[in-house]
Structure 1
Amino acid sequence: MVTRRMFLGGLAATAAGGALIGSGTVSATSEPVAPAAARVPNSLPFTVVNDSGRYPNSALWMHLVGRELPSDRPVRMTPDGTLAYVSASDNDADGFADYAIPLNGAGDTRFDLPINFSGRAYFSVTEKIRFRVNPDDTLAYPAGWVESDPNYRILHDCMEFTYDATGMYCNTTKVDMFSMPLGIELTGSETQRTGFLVDGGREAVLAAMRGNPDFANLVVDDLRVIAPSHGIDSGLFSPTFYDSYVDAVWNRYQSDTLTVTANHTDFTGQVQGGLFTFTGG
């Protein structure tokens, strides 16, 4: 599932990873790798740290869902740390499946992430995320930018990961929306960190967005900021916002030449006949 966004990748499979919920943020931190005898074989030690200073562990829920590799079958992690195939029979009478995993009553939450698992670690505050399993046993994921989504009023966010024999690949996805800041620290042959905000960073982001009349409608209460692309779909953001800039670029490169370097190759282009045409295809 790691096909976009900033990612940390390729560390040895003996790395340690985790997620941390901190100062308005969910971030990921790692713990030293446990002795082999204490670990599930081929698993990744994973630690969730609540550093929010705002919510107790009892108010937080984790949901690990995704796909088993290489079968690509939809799975979720159970509270006992095993992977289980999702099934439409998991839906309760209200039509939703309960895939929530509680955090420890106090302190950090540690578990072993199974190998050959690609998915998302969702975190929610106060309420569990309402997953729906479709009749074909596929999983409907939350869409916090859709007002009719059953999770729209729930404060939640997620990180993405793929853990297989080549290593742990993960990112703090912020393309669709920004809600609960997530930080990840991955420890292996080297230590990599991403997603951590300064203290008060979340509040600053929301305030800045509310203060900009072009973007203010993208802020959903104190829950999240949705991406402009989704805002266009829902009528909350102007689809012509960049028109004048695009026109200026198009006009400039009717006479100037743009050089783009990709894969160690230079491509040059100009606007010709209404098309931005580059050498080398």
Structure 2
Amino acid sequence: MSTPAEAVPPDILPITVANSTGRGEAVHLYVLGTDLASGKLGYVDQAGAFTPWPAGQNPPSPAPDVSIDGPGNGGGTEIKVPRGFSGRVYFSFGDKLDFRLTPDGLVQPAPWADGDPNKNILFDWSEFTYNDSGLWLNSSQVDMFAVPHSVSATGSDGSTDTTGAPVSGGRQAVIDSLKADPAWANTVDTRSDGTVLRVLAPGKAAGSGRLDTAYLDSYISSAWQAYESKDLTVVPFADQPDKKFIGHTSGNVMTFKDGSGAEVASFNKPSSASVWGCDGDLPSPNDQVVGPISRTLCAALNRGTLGKIDTQPSTNAADFYTNSPTNQYAKTIHANMADGKAYAFAYDDVGNFESLVHKGDPQSASITLSPF
């Protein structure tokens, strides 16, 4: 007897962007990303049609205005996305975003950089991939925390999963907490009219001179040195509990062996920048050994559990962010989320602490801009 084929999701998926912010400004939406079949960069219109970007120039030339009129306060706007697309839904308040094109494609807004034309605009984005295996939709604070929003996906059985909503007053609580900490106060961006635009993630803040570039170094050194005298066990795959890698530090290098005793990976002691970015000294190739170990190390260093919990990943959130110095940005954002989940650094999905919804058979989705 043959097994029925998995149903392929709809060609076009409706996503409702709802505005519960209580704010009066006009909202502008953008659906930008990659057509997965061709690899081309482009945009999607409100009806769900993909168009590649025209050729750009150096210096970067203005991109066409592909904004979609978004919802006023209390309203909702339906946008459609085609299956086979991965990208971002941007939302800006008041002003439209200024996108530029180079010969290599789109220049994404980077308000942490000097001279970025979007520096004084209140905006944020959700990230998604929609393909034959379904929808993945998440809020992201990997670069910055600006407009809190929840994401939802509804499956063919009518069930809806939602994540990303802050607690009541959560945005202000994050801002107040970081402003009150002298080491982190400069990570908060405030416009001349008093509007707090965003809090920068530590990697972006340190890269633009707003956070000590060596902020986490002392903790990283102590965590690294801990494994000169004991073993670190990394079990990167939850569904393969017997697949373990054993790490040991000698000098500045941590070396890992597999179950047979063969050396399979080694890492130099990472800089603060490498921990914030989960890159540099912590490269994560898309393989089954080095990448998964690196992801695990990066999550443990951001959460402050490396050095004190010797089997990783650790999954008890009560153990996270108790070290000093710690990633106050990630700590404060997670503490102010209704379900505790956020994407506060690149591998916050280690142990499933990320603000992501997934449906293999989505029928609709939504992004709700939270009150602030």
Give TM class, smaller chain. 0.7 to 0.9
- Look up the match of 1:176: 143
Q: How many angstroms does 1:89 deviate by?
A: 7.5
**C-alpha offsets along residues 78-125 of structure 1, whole Å, 9 cap, x if unaligned?**
2454222211489xxx83431211025673212332221211000000
The yes-or-no answer on 1:231 pairing with 2:231 is no
Report % sequence identity. Answer: 38
Alignment equivalent of 1:100, drawn from 67, 76, 83:
67
Secondary structure of the structure 2 residue equivalent to 1:253: helix
1:242 to 202, 205, 216: 216
- Counterpart of 1:276? 254
The Cα shift of 1:49 comes to 0.7
In structure 1, the partner of 2:54 is 87
Which 5+ residue runs of structure 2 have no aligned equivalent?
1-5, 191-195, 259-263, 265-372
User: Matched residues in 2 for 1:153 and 1:50: separation?
Assistant: 21
Shift, 1:135, TM fit = 3.6
Task: State the TM-score, normalizing by the size of structure 2.
Answer: 0.60
1:12 and 1:166 in contact (8 A); partners too: no
Partner of 2:21: 52
- What letter is aligned with 2:111? G
- Identify which range, 62-71 or 238-247, moves more after superposition: 238-247
The 4+ residue runs of structure 1 with deviation greater than 3 A are 11-14
Q: 1:211 aligns with which of 161, 167, 180?
A: 180
Q: Quick check: 42-51 or 99-108, which moved more?
A: 99-108
Q: Name the CA distance, whole Å, in 2 between partners of 1:12 and 1:275.
A: 48
| 1:257 corresponds to | 231
> Are the counterparts in 1 of residues 186 and 210 from structure 2 also a CA contact under 8 Å?
yes
Q: CA RMSD in A?
A: 2.3
Instruction: Tell me if structure 2 keeps the 8 A contact 1:97–1:133.
Output: no
- Could you tell me the TM-score, scaled by structure 1's length? 0.78
Deviations 1:179-238 (A, max 9, x none): 111210111154221211112111111111101111111111100011111122111111
SS at match of 1:110: strand
Correspondence list, 1:1-281, <5 A: 14=9, 42-55=11-24, 59-88=26-55, 95-104=62-71, 107-135=75-103, 138-188=105-155, 189=157, 190-221=159-190, 222-263=196-237, 264=240, 265-280=243-258, 281=264
Structure 1 207/104 Cα, relative in aligned 2: closer, same or farther at 3 Å?
closer
Contact 2:18 2:71 (8 Å CA) reproduced: no
Tell me whether 109-118 or 148-157 shows the greater mean CA deviation.
109-118
**Unaligned stretches of 5+ residues in structure 1:** 1-10, 15-40
Residue 72 to residue 103, structure 1, CA distance change in 2 (3 Å): same
Identify the structure with the greater strand proportion: 1
The aligned residue for residue 32 of structure 1 is: none
Q: State how many pairs are aligned.
A: 239
What is the alpha-carbon distance in structure 2 between the residues aligned to residue 42 and residue 80 of structure 1?
A: 12
**Pairwise CA distance, 1:130:** 0.7
Q: Distance in 1 between matches of 2:88 and 2:7?
A: 20
For residue 131 of structure 1, what is the amino acid of its counterpart?
A: F
Q: Secondary structure at the match of 1:197?
A: coil
Change (3 A) 1:44 1:79: closer
